[in-house]
Structure 1
């Protein structure tokens, strides 16, 4: 998984280094969980630890940056006026299947960290946006709330965190199908 170290190009490489660190973090966190050594992320990205800490001063910062990227993908989907809640939920489940570790901190709804609270609020806004539009709600019942959907997502995420990687796709599919039965009309 480790890649050769690139030559130091200084500030000119900052954006490229940040992108490499995010890609490495996403892959490693998905494979091994959120408690991996940060030095492994730097090595995998092909940068020094100094670069990692310049961009992400601590573990929470890099985890939140990956959240931001994932939420950005969801927001882009929701921005399409024709997208439905079913499509949004399908994308969330896909993200959970490949990176279940990222949904673990979202279960900390009482978090005092304003950055995490912001991510949770953005997720609620995405869900509410589609729930509030009858034509975009899809198959989800009219009285379903963003809180209920968030709870279902959290339950599936917690279960997937304990599921071996080789079984995650099947378990995610079956688990989400079961939860959808409770959320559908």
Structure 2
């Protein structure tokens, strides 16, 4: 009798396990959207990884490149944070406003040397430079988005700097309280 019950249990259990295994393996049908391409995004990130590391600059290297003719200093933080404090000479285009048209107004040539920095490059003024999660650093998104739009020469401020000690010229557009 025990053997019979065991055999009966196996007969009903194995097909159930097999069905649940098939359900787990089935992938949902992709939701098509021609304006979103995760595969291309991953390709850009993977291709840019090595180059990006060689384009991260020290404070002194960044300052020196700022002085070159034709270099664009791009600040992709919010307009509000930009006005509180930014590097002198920076042009503000919030990351959320990146389009082919808005970028070409500020950076008309794809080969233009572009310098970028973000909240995670400065400490000592949380209102102007609110730190993000390291994996969500605006520099990462900005770098890869500029690459996606075809820009070729992007350099990033590398270190974390104290706003009171940096040699980079920080200025405010906000009226004093």
Do the structures match in fold with TM over 0.5?
no
- Structure with bigger gyration radius: 2
**As a proportion of its length, which structure holds more strand?**
2
